[in-house]
Chains A and B, each alone.
Chain A
Amino acid sequence: MRAHRAINLWLGAALVLPMIAIAAISLIWTPYDVTLLDVGNKFAPPSPSHWLGTDQLGRDVASLLMSASVNSLTVAFVAVGMGGSLGVMLGLLASAFGGWVETLVMRLADLGFAFPALLFAIMLATAFGPSLSNAILAIAFINIPVFARVARGAANQVWTRDFVLAGQAAGLGRARLTFDHILPNIAAPIIVQATIEFAVAILAEAALSYLGLGAQPPLPSWGRMLSEAQTLMYLAPELAIYPGLCIIIAVLGFGLLGDGLRDVTDPRLKQVRA
């Protein structure tokens, strides 16, 4: 039981940590400059000088993938961070006040859930032109209702606990109770959710960039590499396979990590173990 649960965690970490490390390295060093075109050497096969070969413009594929990972992680981090904080604040608000405030926030969250991110991104792109920041806004937007729900559910449980009662008895108001007592005690489910949403965000960014609604050239992005490679599928299928694999590894990694974290922090499971 325990080993099984830990497997998700370790597998996730094994996929995610090297990826983060590679992204960090690419900030200071990549084998080649990703903007360097070398048309004379296009479609080069893997070799000691180009580990994964070169693309249709002679750029080093390994360097492109490395730089694109920074893009994916940053987008996911910023989008989940923004949408998550807003969602958590709304959830805490709903939980602290209850009554019609809670009903209103949760109805809005239902509405947000029903609204596809892709549609939102297309709307933003139509209105303001396609850009990476619009893609980030769209992904942040879908995160708001997710986190509002998780935060409100967890907070409602904490509000019933004795130490909140003791805080109330000491005359503390809702705001103080929320920040000092509720928030720290819902951190675990929030972090778990954030990890899972990270995976979703990476996939969403790839999809939006694939459709041309996200990262714009020359910024390297797995999604755009995939769409560019599509037209060359018969000529150089590996150019589609590499970014595809990267997306799979990232999404799977964060998904497993999130599941693993949930498994080890879930108090219901913890009780069984104790």
Chain B
Amino acid sequence: MIEANDITVRFGTAEALRGINLTLSPGQRLGIVGESGSGKSMLGLSLMGMLPDAAGMSGQIRIDGTDMTGAKIASWRAIRARKVAMIFQEPLAALNPLRRVGNTVMEPLRQHLGHSKDAARARVLQLFEETGIQDPVAKFRQFPHELSGGQRQRVLISLALACNPKVLIADEPTTALDAHVALRITDLLVRLAEERGMALVFISHDLAAVARTAQDIAVMYGGEIVERGPVHAVLSSPHHPYTQGLLLARPALGAGHLRERLPVIPGTVPAMRDLAVGCRFSGRCAVELPHCATERPASRPVGAHHDAACHRIGAAT
């Protein structure tokens, strides 16, 4: 569905993403966790062809059989909404305050699928129903400020799903919501992905939310994926020192901490341009080896479909 190879995103000389490889099969649900600034949003945007103008990207991307490597804006526009769609962190900010939400959701239907006004309207009501919006007819005519946070996010999910995308990228879709609302939204995303056979990229700070939503998890640090694998494997036997740090520092999973932030690991994330050329985690790593700062660790298998990028792995300890 998505095949990304060696994606690197630069702002000037600073690398916001470095050598990201990612594959996503139909219906697969991948969670992405990492501290603020680790490049999660950049990864999502690069899969939409929506990186800021200042960013330079290299690497190959195939989406649903189409090679998007170096694609022009027009080719990206043609696959957005129909193949990949994205929802954002702040549902209020992501809706035009001056448009009725129904009209906002109608736009891509009219534009891409050439629906008539009536057909588009009927489809929007159906989408509202599907995403669990109560009283769709009334909601259709309301403005964003008249809806609750959860309803707004459901409207945005409707917008993203309007043209039946094969992949949905959700960039921290629950961060701005109350705990119980967040839970309902993550469950909704899982249900929609299952019903539609749609792949889901679920970006979050929140390990518990990822554990609940995704089958696989990718841990990002400093613009790289440092460890990835099935959720239970990564959480029960983390191999990368950064992942271990994350899990050690947090209370037991499912202990009522639905919305906890990633715990603090000693030190702070260095600025992007100050990251080591070798392992991005060197400098903060408790088990650092002498060559860590200068040599980049390769990703190695540590279990079934589970791999991590650390010089400690496979080396004599």
**Measuring CB to CB, which residues of chain A are less than 8 angstroms from any residue of chain B?**
98, 161-163, 165-173, 176, 180-181, 184-185
Are B88 and A165 touching (Cβ within 8 A)? yes
**A-B interface contact total, Cβ < 8 Å:** 73
> Which residue in A168, A172, A181 is a CB contact (below 8 Å) of B50?
A168
Residues of A within 8 A of B96 (CB): 163, 167, 180-181, 184-185
> Which residue in B77, B88, B94 is a CB contact (below 8 Å) of A171?
B77
Of all A-B residue pairs in the complex, the 10 with the closest CB atoms, nearest first, are A171-B80, A171-B81, A162-B93, A169-B86, A166-B94, A170-B108, A162-B94, A184-B98, A163-B96, A170-B81
Are B80 and A180 touching (Cβ within 8 A)? no
The docked-state distance in angstroms from the alpha carbon of A133 to that of B135 is 55
Are B48 and A170 touching (Cβ within 8 A)? no
Residues of B within 8 A of A169 (CB): 48, 50, 80-81, 85-88, 160
Closest chain A residue to B85 by CB distance?
A169
Indicate if B111 sits at the interface (CB-CB under 8 A). yes
The docked-state distance in angstroms from the alpha carbon of A48 to that of B163 is 74
Are B95 and A173 touching (Cβ within 8 A)? no
Report the minimum CB–CB distance from B16 to chain A (whole Å): 17
The docked-state distance in angstroms from the alpha carbon of A28 to that of B78 is 57
Report the minimum CB–CB distance from B26 to chain A (whole Å): 20
Indicate if B274 sits at the interface (CB-CB under 8 A). no
The docked-state distance in angstroms from the alpha carbon of A70 to that of B171 is 56
Residues of B within 8 A of A167 (CB): 96, 107
Instruction: Give the number of residues in B that approach A within 8 Å (Cβ atoms).
Output: 31
Report the minimum CB–CB distance from A175 to chain B (whole Å): 10
Are A162 and B80 touching (Cβ within 8 A)? no
Are B95 and A166 touching (Cβ within 8 A)? yes
**Measuring CB to CB, which residues of chain B are less than 8 angstroms from any residue of chain A?**
48, 50, 53, 77-82, 85-88, 90, 93-99, 104, 107-108, 111-112, 156, 159-160, 162-163
Are A180 and B163 touching (Cβ within 8 A)? no
Residues of A within 8 A of B162 (CB): 170
The docked-state distance in angstroms from the alpha carbon of A167 to that of B85 is 10
Interface core residue of A162, A165, A185 (most chain B CB under 10 Å): A162
> Which residue in B53, B78, B90, B160 is a CB contact (below 8 Å) of A170?
B160
Residues of B within 8 A of A98 (CB): 53
5 more A-B contacts (CB under 8 A) besides A166-B87, A171-B111?
A163-B94, A168-B50, A169-B80, A170-B159, A172-B111
> Which residue in A168, A176, A181, A184 is a CB contact (below 8 Å) of B80?
A168
Residues of B within 8 A of A161 (CB): 93
Are B107 and A165 touching (Cβ within 8 A)? no
Closest chain B residue to A173 by CB distance?
B77
Residues of B within 8 A of A185 (CB): 96-98
Are A165 and B50 touching (Cβ within 8 A)? yes
The docked-state distance in angstroms from the alpha carbon of A15 to that of B281 is 68
